[in-house]
Structure 1
Amino acid sequence: MVTESDPICALCGRPVPKGVRQSLHHLVPKLKGGKGGPVVLLHQICHNEIHASLTEAELARDYDTPEKLRAHPRLAAFVKWVAKRPPGFHKRSAGGRRKR
């Protein structure tokens, strides 16, 4: 059940109700110097999509804020798609890690 006190996902902007799979995302990956750095709360499905779309190097170099993540074309399309789902929606990400 969604309440007004539920935190908001930093990627999709939907509430993250209690009991829903959630995750903390390091804005700069730990392996790229982000250990102890800022983190944001995400739905697990949103976190999965970020890591399926971008490499650790791309995240550290170009996508170190929620605004930059939402501006990425694949993630923007994902946010538009997931916005139509209920806050508790979760399924495996459609594709695997992108080809390098």
Structure 2
Amino acid sequence: MPNKEKNPDTFPADVPVCPLCDRPIPEGDGSLHHLIPKLKGGKGGPTVLLHQICHKEIHATLTEAELARSYATVEALRAHPRLDKFLNWVRKRPPGFRSKVPGRRRKR
């Protein structure tokens, strides 16, 4: 009988998937993102569960006003040039990956 080792990169079907990077979100690694920031009228509005690293990159890249005005959907976030570059990079990392060095903040 073949030895069936469990692959650490496989997750049960009920594990949520980050809508930005399409990687499974391990338990305790999710962060709720308001598509319209609470301070810009999004309190009680739509939210999505993201990896913490993906959520941090959004807020390091865009202001609350930019998020409310032009990036209030997952598709719009994915289309942003800096976020697109980040997502291409992070998709190559394991689902539980966390950066030890904080990313650069955008220039204001």
Normalising by structure 1, report the TM-score.
0.92
Q: Establish whether residue 80 from structure 1 lines up as the match of residue 80 from structure 2.
A: no
Give the % identical residues. Answer: 66
Aligned CA RMSD, in angstroms, stands at: 1.1
**Equivalent-residue separation in structure 2 for 1:11 and 1:76 (angstroms):** 9
Residue ranges of structure 2 left out of the alignment (5+ in a row): 1-7
Q: Contact 2:33/2:49 (CA < 8 Å) preserved in 1?
A: yes
Q: In the alignment, what sits opposite 1:16?
A: 25
Instruction: Provide the secondary structure at the position in 2 that maps to 1:12.
Output: coil
**Equivalent-residue separation in structure 1 for 2:33 and 2:57 (angstroms):** 12
- Supply the AA of the counterpart residue of 1:60: A
Q: Contact 1:52/1:95 (CA < 8 Å) preserved in 2?
A: yes
Based on CA coordinates, which of the two structures has the bigger radius of gyration? 2
Q: Which of residues 59, 62, 72 in structure 1 aligns to 2:70? A: 62
Aligned structure 1 segments of 4 or more residues deviating by more than 3 angstroms: none
Deviations, residues 25-67 of structure 1 (Å, cap 9, x unaligned): 0000000000000000000000000000000000000000000
Q: CA deviation at 1:93?
A: 3.6
- Tell me the matched-pair count: 98
Q: Establish whether residue 31 from structure 1 lines up as the match of residue 21 from structure 2.
A: no
- Supply the AA of the counterpart residue of 1:84: K
Q: Establish whether residue 48 from structure 1 lines up as the match of residue 56 from structure 2.
A: yes
Which range moved further: 25-34 or 9-18?
9-18
Residue ranges of structure 1 left out of the alignment (5+ in a row): none
